[in-house]
Amino acid sequence: MILEVDNVELNFDQTSILQGIYLKAETQKVTCILGRNGCGKSSLHKIIFGSLKAKYSLVRLNKKPITKKFFQTGLVNYLPQHHYIPKEVSVKKAFQLYGCSWEAFLKDFDSFLVHKNAKINELSGGERRIIETYLVLQSKAKVLLLDEPFSNIAPLQIEKIKQIIQQQKEEKIIVLTDHFYEDVLEVADVLYTIHHKRSHLIKDENDLVNFGYLTSAQKATIQQ
């Protein structure tokens, strides 16, 4: 299965945000997007999902254009930067609503056993993020858009999330962006950056330096 996003142009109040964006993602490859804050990464996720209208955009799945908002097809799920589960919902109910197994979740995150009967707003921000990311990853959607899945999560939990991403990519298209670039580089099979409003396919860390995303010192640290 192949997802293509083409010719994306987005303006806010006469200010150009994205121009001529192209992105290709497919199953068995995690496609990641890096870019400076404010470059339009989150906006691109929303345009693909269908919650933000661009001036121009074309979304194709297996070469067939998506002619309505993508989220209306039931084929896509989206992890936004903000918390999306209502705070009054219980943890147990959230798993039921998403059709996910609480017992399977505990095999990876056993420390959550004490939270089974808690409400979402009783968890820490990091705990909420883990649950929300897990539910999106385990959903039945064939296309997953992950915006900042590693934010506010402890390093050990990030490693578990990355393992689940590697499992899910076998049958799902995953498009991911996060400011923890070392984790992104570790999980990415295909990498883009958004620079000067346009998307650029990245071949290696040198490209990230050339496009001003990484410094030479940061690149050296990654390669150690």
Cβ-in-10-Å burial (0-12, 13-18, 19+) of 156 comes to exposed
Q: What is the pLDDT of residue 212?
A: 82
Cα–Cα distance, 214 to 23 (Å, whole number): 21
Successive 10-residue mean pLDDT values, the chain, 224 residues: 96 91 97 93 96 95 95 96 92 93 94 92 95 96 97 94 97 96 95 95 90 79 69
Q: What is the pLDDT of residue 224?
A: 59
Cα–Cα distance, 18 to 44 (Å, whole number): 8
User: CA-based angle 174:177:182, to the nearest 5?
Assistant: 110
| pTM of the model as a whole | 0.94
- Please name the residue that has the structure tokens 């899910």: 168
Residues 98 and 104 sit within 8 Å (Cβ to Cβ) = no
Q: What is the pLDDT of residue 219?
A: 72
Q: What is the pLDDT of residue 48?
A: 97
End-to-end, the C-alpha distance of the chain in Å comes to 35
- Please name the residue that has the structure tokens 């001036």: 55
